[in-house]
Structure 1
């Protein structure tokens, strides 16, 4: 037993996990890259791609010579944005290794070294692929390319560590905002020295030193962090399954993910209509279901935005007719959503009367199209008659109120009668 325990060291455990990771990746890719794929796809692609690459060295195409320098420098942002910090943390570490800070710090330090080596290889590969642009077209010296490679390598390390910390410290919508803001700031800080100072190798020396200092501070904060273990385990699981998900993305049918978090709007089940009649309650449930589904709201928003622009750009004499056409078109889509909700098993278990169905359809149709009618009148009147024309928002909503009352509901009840 003592001999078995003495065999395991920090370096031995890290090498074992690293070897297992690459064995899993090789087994996953070996199932897809059989000899037919190599003969018919991989080898011809390498042959054609290699020939094109060599030809660009000697005879750069016209579009490559006309490409500005800024475009080539922006392509290196791919390494900065997609780098991932590997910690090689596992779920069982919470029982045995997490209480031992020296072991966790040792594995994390080796994971950082592995990440640095991986990012260096990725950065070098990007610059090798872009050598015809930098050397054959713009005649960059070797010293300049090495300095740019070091600069990109440090930027990729900053991006990888910062994303790891953000994944652990934030959640939900706030994580998305913080990650987006951080990536925008990192992109600006990365591109500004390349565009403004990247004339000679010495121009990037100060940004490299500053970036190395920032990277050292982030690595130190990561080593001292005590609340990132669960996030590290989740990110490691995603890293191990990345190849499998890529190979099986079109093979396995994805089941809808169950979200247990509350929606962004209407987070509480409060009433939105005052009446307690059957048609009002049914309409309220369908309207809430519509508003709480982000894809439906997004589609409604873009349709209303495009329709409002079409109404505002039309002649004043045609605006009412075009607005009515868009109202009816949006009403058809809303009623299709109403039909889908009524066909759900939860709603079909109730014996709704025809008057209740007709009343709920009218309420859903009116309240989901009325905001669009208000936009049509507001911006259509503003474009045709100036600020005074904004008062057309009132007749716009009234026109839709009259249309909604006169639209027949016979087609809406046909589906319910067929199901009985």
Structure 2
């Protein structure tokens, strides 16, 4: 066996698992009554959009095609570089290290090809509607966005190898903000040939950096953990709204104790049943990356929608977000309190419901306030 054979075997197994998850959710009744009508509606609206009429065309005219830039930003923030590593591969690192090295190389090229396929799909879908720029300019924009996306993926490989801290997260957010701001300036004011050249340089940088990382095995456990999370991403998305179902927890060995862990005695000086429930909820929520990821994805999607939407749609998005956010926070609280060591605890008591209401209100008000701030900032630019 060589690295190429192992890669295609792992790739086939990966998509077979995703197909099983997809098939478990969408059976023939769901496909007949929900998926097929929704697909027909999207195709019909797309044809109307190409002909200059329909709901989507009026919406795009009101938003002046700002939604397209928002979609590009969301795509850049998604994805990862696959390695297709498994825990059992550590046994063969000493004897079959060259095979694992080839596996990571093929996985790197596969990740870049998948990223390119995303941008090509978006390019050919949106190309008929981009009439204000030429084909060469739109191709240069595609090249730049693809190079920027691969650079983000290459830098993400360093992030998963290092323990996450508050300062590191803040620095990452600031770096992304600066890079996105600079990209907006380049797209608006830069000549298209220079924009394409910058995109090619980004792509070369990302590929060279990622190729060098494939030869390193110092972060083997972190790469295995990230691959497990990627494999369970679709299952987690499906089960996110289910209170009974759950996915296997992937142990992140690089996690540090959260900020409130060492200072919890100062925060909760009175150890009562009420503060015990609240402390448990905040500790588990901070240490579980899946819960934080769910809320981050939801907040990001609605923030972008609020920024690019007209005023009447901003109000609808705020109302929808307040309801959906509270519902998901309720599910998270109940899942946290379903821990085995809480079996026998009185979950019908006043302390439990008071703690539940307090924890949900704290996070709900914070997230809702962020959306209102985003709406206020977007009104300044309209």
| TM-score, scaled relative to structure 2 | 0.63
Aligned in 2, Cα 1:291/1:48: closer, same or farther, shift over 3 Å? Answer: closer
Q: 1:190 aligned to 2:183? A: yes
Contact kept? 1:193, 1:207, Cα under 8 Å: no
Kindly state the Cα deviation for residue 345 of structure 1 after the two structures are TM-superposed. Answer: 11
Q: 1:212 aligned to 2:203? A: yes
Larger relative contact order, structure 1 or 2 (CA cutoff 8 Å, min sep 6): 2
| Inter-partner Cα distance in structure 2 for 1:13 and 1:213 | 26
The correspondence of residues 87-102 of structure 1 with structure 2, limited to 5 A, is 87-97=83-93, 100-102=96-98
Contact kept? 1:87, 1:107, Cα under 8 Å: yes
Number of residue-to-residue matches in the alignment: 280
Q: List alignment gaps of at least 5 residues for structure 2.
A: 284-341, 347-382
Cross-structure match for 2:10: 17
Q: List alignment gaps of at least 5 residues for structure 1.
A: 1-7, 273-281, 297-343, 349-420
Aligned in 2, Cα 1:70/1:98: closer, same or farther, shift over 3 Å? Answer: farther
Deviations 1:360-394 (A, max 9, x none): xxxxxxxxxxxxxxxxxxxxxxxxxxxxxxxxxxx
Kindly state the Cα deviation for residue 177 of structure 1 after the two structures are TM-superposed. Answer: 2.8
Contact kept? 1:150, 1:208, Cα under 8 Å: yes
Contact kept? 1:97, 1:104, Cα under 8 Å: yes
Q: 1:267 aligned to 2:253? A: no
Contact kept? 1:166, 1:178, Cα under 8 Å: no
SS in 2 for 1:193: helix
Kindly state the Cα deviation for residue 18 of structure 1 after the two structures are TM-superposed. Answer: 0.6
Q: 1:80 aligned to 2:80? A: no
Which of 112, 115, 135 lines up with 2:111 in the alignment?
115
Cross-structure match for 1:244: 235
Contact kept? 1:84, 1:160, Cα under 8 Å: yes
SS in 2 for 1:122: helix
Cross-structure match for 1:39: 32
Kindly state the Cα deviation for residue 209 of structure 1 after the two structures are TM-superposed. Answer: 3.4
| Inter-partner Cα distance in structure 1 for 2:231 and 2:345 | 43
Aligned in 2, Cα 1:271/1:242: closer, same or farther, shift over 3 Å? Answer: closer
Deviations 1:71-109 (A, max 9, x none): 533421222110211111110111103664422221111
Contact kept? 1:70, 1:195, Cα under 8 Å: no
Aligned in 2, Cα 1:202/1:249: closer, same or farther, shift over 3 Å? Answer: same
Cross-structure match for 2:135: 142
Cross-structure match for 1:359: none
SS in 1 for 2:262: coil
